[in-house]
Structure 1
Amino acid sequence: MPTQSGLSQLATAYDALLCDVWGVVHNGIEPFPSAVEALVNYRAHGGHVVFITNAPRPSGEIVDMLDHMGVPRSAWDAMASSGDASRTLIAPYKGKVIHHVGPATADDALYEGLGVIRGRAEDAEVVVVTDLDSDDETPDDYAARVRLWLKRGLPMICANPDKIVEHGDQLIYCGGALGDYYAERGGQVQMAGKPFTPIYDEAMRLAEQSAGRKLDKSRVLAIGDSVRTDATGAANFGIDLLFVTGSIHAADFVDGADSASVEALVAPSGARLAAFLPRLAW
């Protein structure tokens, strides 16, 4: 049965970490000091850290954000983002109209160099979702727009499979919630990030590049705070999981997280649970 173990107790068993970012390393506003300390120490002991994130932006923009936030480069080796994976799905629409859903300009870099034309849903050939348009919206607010998309038979590319994330002390809906809403009504949805294998293949490639050698999956550990994305992704990819309980699933542990309750929550994903922590720490 998994135990509540700090990263120091697991470090010698794993050569590399595929570590979630939002909810594990930071809360959207500031870093978690204990998480940064744990990753710095892990690397100082010879481990390799690849950040694997469902942020719907190319990895370069996420690096800039982490730098600005104060997450030191000594905490990580490389970055695999859903935005990078999503660009591969968007590229075939070169020269065609796409309908963007999300903050108007925040994700401009997602389309840079792809030659797509952003326009109205009435003229588009695909809907690309990076997020909801504002933090106070829910998927139900999109009911009328979804009816139009369904009527036109528009496929959707969901560049951020996360359903909810922490923002400071609040939980807000993300693009994945709208992707699920559309799929439940019969829409065709492609998601590029976690829990889907392509982003893990890229993260593993980056980990092996950092290590300078082939890595055995039995010695690679996923760290994450979401059953839907992190636990399921780890299970699909065949690697162990360190689960962070104090983020988006905190409400599931109002009486405190213990081995039995964490195992019960994670079990439907099929993930091999190595350990759990309220917050990542050394």
Structure 2
Amino acid sequence: MPATLEILKSPVLAGLTHGFFTRHGGASSGIYHGLNCGHGSQDQREAVALNRTRVAEAMGVAPQAMVGMSQVHSADVAVIEAAPEAPPTADALVTRVPGLLLTVLTADCQPVLFADRKAGVIGAAHAGWRGALDGVLEATLDAMEAQGAQRPDTVAVIGPCISQRAYEVGFDFMDNFVMEDEAYGRFFSGGPNGKPVFDLPSFGLYRLRAAGVGMAEWIGRCTYSDPDRFYSYRRTTHRGEADYGRLISAIRL
């Protein structure tokens, strides 16, 4: 593993090979400087491939064992029994097959890693506001249960994502949540510009805990506020940059 890679881990997932990778230690340059793992970006394909190879090596697998998704902000889950030829269109992955590395790409949305050690079932989800509101976290747990997992034995960790202080939204955005459940108003507060600010990781934790997981935590890192470590779609937009890199999070049995 290149010494310059920075991999954030959670004690909640101790004993499992996993990591929330920062942008440190990558081969990309310019606005993508660092470990950009997103094929969907306009970065050089060779740099992205090299970055992904470094991730695979750090996780102890061949690049061919990395399983990703074509993410569309849905609540769809793909159950993986072998490395697919093409990424499935989904926003969560579940497997009970050792050696397959489940990965999720983010740049402000929540990357969520799941595991039931007893049952030998893991999951990885991409949960932006839309996916979280539409139930991608619960759908991941449903798919894990179908593979033999039990919710009280399942743990979930939310990786680096945008924090409330950086997530100003419109009142129509807030209405989407409050119309679904008035209690969701607790995840909004008044921002400095008179608009609401949304607490995405707290909303994710609430949904996970309400769904009955044994333990859930946020790793406590804001993508927007730490440009040295993390890519951020919103920060890129505010800076007027042409594109942005994608962070990778990964887990395997």
Structure 2 length normalisation: TM-score? Answer: 0.31
Structure 1 length normalisation: TM-score? Answer: 0.29
Query: Which structure has the larger Rg over C-alpha atoms?
Result: 1
Structure that is richer in helix per residue: 1
